[in-house]
Amino acid sequence: VSQRRNFDLLKKFWGSFALFQSRSLASH
């Protein structure tokens, strides 16, 4: 269960990171 929770957290973090990257590129 803890591993699955960790994966979910990682996915959420990666999603926000990707969004930030895309926004950075768009603003450039």
Q: What one-character-per-residue DSSP string does 1-28 give?
A: -HHHHHHHHHHHHHHHHHHHHHHHHHH-
Provide the pLDDT for residue 1.
75
Provide the pLDDT for residue 25.
84
Rounded CA-CA distance 1/17 in Å is 24
Provide the pLDDT for residue 11.
97
Provide the pLDDT for residue 28.
65
Per-residue pLDDT tens digits for 1-28: 799 999 999 999 999 999 999 998 887 6
Name the residue ranges covered by the structural domains of the chain.
Answer: 1-28
In which residue are the tokens 């990257």 written?
21
Tokens of 16: 């926000």
